[in-house]
Amino acid sequence: MKKAESAIEQILSDDYEVVEGKEQNQPIFDFDTDYAGIKQKHDDTVEAWKSLADEDRAKYGRGLPDYLIEAGAENPKDQKFSRARNAYLVSNEISARVGNASPFKVLPLDAINYQSSLTELVESIENTE
């Protein structure tokens, strides 16, 4: 029986295996799919399910999954939407960061004689300590 190698030994050895069938060099973002629309339709359908009467819910054998299929609402957590979700999250993060004011303020330095302005700034910082 072969002794188990440590992770470092496995990394240092040049043993590797090529796995066929895996998607490689595929884009991680899909800006063409309307992920926000898919997510909104799913959320609206779930809210509609919550408001259904028990008699109406009984029509659907498996419950919510069957209702979602009939309504045509796809699950936004499905693997096929992962690249669209990545694009959606990145777009939201960019919008949030661009929309917020910067915590940094531009220092009013004299463009012509900026060295003396910087000297005054450094002296004032030293005097506060």
Question: Residues 27-33: what's their mean pLDDT?
Answer: 89
Tally of structural domains, the chain: 1
> Global pTM?
0.59
User: What is the C-alpha to C-alpha distance for residues 88 and 39, in angstroms, rounded to an integer?
Assistant: 10
Residue 76: inside a domain? yes
DSSP assignment string, 18-41: PPTT---S--S--SSS-HHHHHHH
Query: Residue 71's domain spans which residues?
Result: 29-99
Residue 18 forms part of a structural domain: no
- Cβ pair 67, 45 in contact under 8 A: yes
Q: Each residue of 38-73: pLDDT tens digit?
A: 999 999 999 999 998 888 888 888 888 999 999 999
Specify if 126 maps to a domain: no
Residue 88 lies in a domain: yes
* Residue at 115 is within a domain: no
Distance CA 65, CA 19 (A): 34
